[in-house]
Homo-oligomer: A and B are copies of this chain.
């Protein structure tokens, strides 16, 4: 698997006439080497590949890294690479333009004044976007943990509990059920706060009759889940029911349409048209979804302006929402695998409006 990924990268290096690819972005390092620590560097050359880290990670690197020669740096990782002479002099070295900051690039150029540093885009991302079945199984496992958390959270959601206490339960349950980490800070937005699409949980107590949007996910062996449901705590208003119905229909239409070969922007349009026809178009201010995998947001883009075409093996979220200021909001999100002719929903949580 590792070997296939390296081969695909080497094909790209060859096409881009590069002598090496420099990778410092941690999710990519984990994808390629298995290393899960927080300081590392990969150098991929036509016939060799090196992984560098610092002394804190000596043992962990030996345990985790497969298929790379491991070098432990005394000073900076770049200086160690130079000292070891792993790069041919005067080489053209590709770097990841979206993942290296300007200061790092300046440091590399100072360290290697005779090298040519060539910006690359999406070399590793293009590989990551198309998952093999073993990767989909890891995402399925992450999603299944979040599904279990959602079921258990329904027992906790009662009038009087604060949003922050609900978030604490989500985080706790994720770990207890085997997640490495949360994918992001859980969103718990109740009542009027549901109008904030990315609301953090606050000390606000949940009141009877309020809708509550829960958006949460976890990481399992490097792969993420990302699940949203809006539930009613006590009897919801007719307006809330109507908002829910429209979002649910829009979400279902998108799920029914998603398949390989479809332009991602056309999938966004399926949901957006339905919401717009119902008169809520201006209250759906974000994209329909995003790729999901070693990052919570990765390729393909699933928005009105996306140029991506969905491919078999993409894993994406489908998550339309409507948010009416001072009133509240509804969002429903599934994680799906794009297949030939259909998409496969990875989560099990029902989309019927749950009234607690």
Contacts and interface: CB of A to CB of B under 8 A. Distances in A.
Interface in A158-209: 164-165, 167-169, 171-172, 175-176, 178, 180-181, 185, 195-200
A121 B54 CA distance: 25
Interface in A25-57: 36-38, 54-57
18 contacts: A56-B197, A56-B286, A57-B198, A60-B196, A60-B199, A95-B102, A97-B103, A98-B103, A99-B101, A101-B101, A103-B119, A103-B121, A164-B175, A164-B178, A168-B176, A171-B171, A171-B172, A180-B200
Given A36-B200, A102-B119, A285 B56 contact: yes
A195 to B, nearest CB: 6
Q: How many copies does the complex hold?
A: 2
Interface of A: 36-38, 54-60, 95, 97-103, 105-106, 119, 121, 164-165, 167-169, 171-172, 175-176, 178, 180-181, 185, 195-200, 285-286, 325
Contacts of A102: 95, 97-98, 100-102, 105, 119
Contacts of A57: 196, 198
A285 B171 contact: no
Which of A36, A102, A176 is most buried by chain B, counting CB atoms within 10 A of its CB? A102
A89 to B, nearest CB: 23
Contact of A175 (B36, B38, B55, B171): B171
A198 B37 CA distance: 8
A354 B180 CA distance: 28
Contact of A198 (B38, B97, B176, B185): B38
Contacts of A285: 54-56, 58
Nearest to A199: B60
A110 to B, nearest CB: 13
B99 A55 contact: no
Contact of A172 (B38, B121, B168, B196): B168
Given A56-B286, A100-B101, A167-B175, 16 more contacts: A36-B200, A55-B285, A57-B196, A58-B325, A60-B196, A95-B102, A97-B101, A98-B102, A102-B102, A102-B105, A103-B119, A165-B175, A165-B176, A168-B176, A171-B175, A181-B185
Contacts of A176: 165, 168
